[in-house]
């Protein structure tokens, strides 16, 4: 699949069918995150993956997350390794991981809303590290559709605003 078609197909999934992700596909997803660009090549980001169904369920409940997330196959917490590290690094990796997941027919959801203290405690995040956001990966229950986006001419201007 052409990369542009992956992005055209990408949409937020809020209904998952429980079940593990194929191991080779999961490793490909993680690899996409590993090799992503980072600010000054520092690679100052780490990812905590939660794939055990019970751990997912407990995390969703304790961190007051949306209930349908209990059915996802994996939660990934993206963390910068210090306050000074770049949140962009985490986000770039996550975006690459998402693209690989979508290319394999999986569904994803970016997650910015969760009880951060609870998640930090659950993943034993060391002092100084900062959780940036989470992403859910799983098997979409419905095809779903990407909502309409602004036209190219609105989003991009040439040379001057
Ligand atoms: C940084 C970020 C955080 C988000 N956090 C949440 C969230 O906590 N819960 C949720 O349901 N959707 C969340 N979303 C998904 C957006 O609501 C979604 O991307 C938007 O509605 C556009 O839909 P689309 O992803 O299908 O194009 C988040 C998206 C981004 C980029």
Torsional class of 36: left (φ above 0), alpha (ψ -120 to 50), beta (otherwise): beta
Q: How far does residue 94's CA lie from ligand 1's centre (Å)?
A: 13
First to last CA, the chain: 34
- At 129-159, the pLDDT tens digits run 999 999 999 999 998 899 999 999 999 999 9
Beta bridge partners of 137: 74, 108
pLDDT at 1: 86
- Domain boundaries in the chain? 3-142
- Reduced 3-state DSSP string for 63-103: CCCCHHHHHCCEEEEEEECCCCCCHHHHHHHHHHHHHHHHH
Q: How far does residue 155's CA lie from ligand 1's centre (Å)?
A: 18
Domain 3-142 CATH class label? alpha beta
- At 72-127, the pLDDT tens digits run 999 999 999 999 999 999 999 999 999 999 999 999 999 999 999 999 999 999 99
CA 41 – CA 27 distance, rounded (Å): 22
160: pLDDT strictly greater than 90: yes
pLDDT at 143: 87
């Amino acid at each position: 699949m052409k990369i542009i078609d992956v992005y055209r197909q990408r949409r937020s999934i809020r209904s998952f069918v429980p079940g593990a992700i194929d191991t080779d596909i999961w490793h490909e997803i993680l690899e996409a995150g590993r090799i992503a660009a980072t600010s000054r090549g520092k690679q100052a980001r780490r990812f905590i993956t939660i794939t055990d169904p019970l751990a997912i369920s407990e995390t969703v409940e304790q961190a007051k997350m949306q209930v349908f997330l209990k059915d996802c196959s994996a939660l990934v917490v993206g963390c910068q390794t210090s306050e000074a590290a770049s949140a962009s690094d985490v986000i770039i990796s996550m975006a690459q991981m998402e693209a690989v997941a979508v290319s394999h027919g999986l569904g994803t959801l970016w997650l910015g809303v969760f009880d951060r203290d609870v998640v930090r405690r659950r993943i034993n995040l060391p002092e100084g590290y900062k959780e940036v956001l989470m992403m859910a990966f799983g098997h979409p229950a419905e095809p779903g559709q990407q909502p309409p986006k602004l036209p190219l001419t609105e989003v991009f201007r040439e040379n001057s605003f």
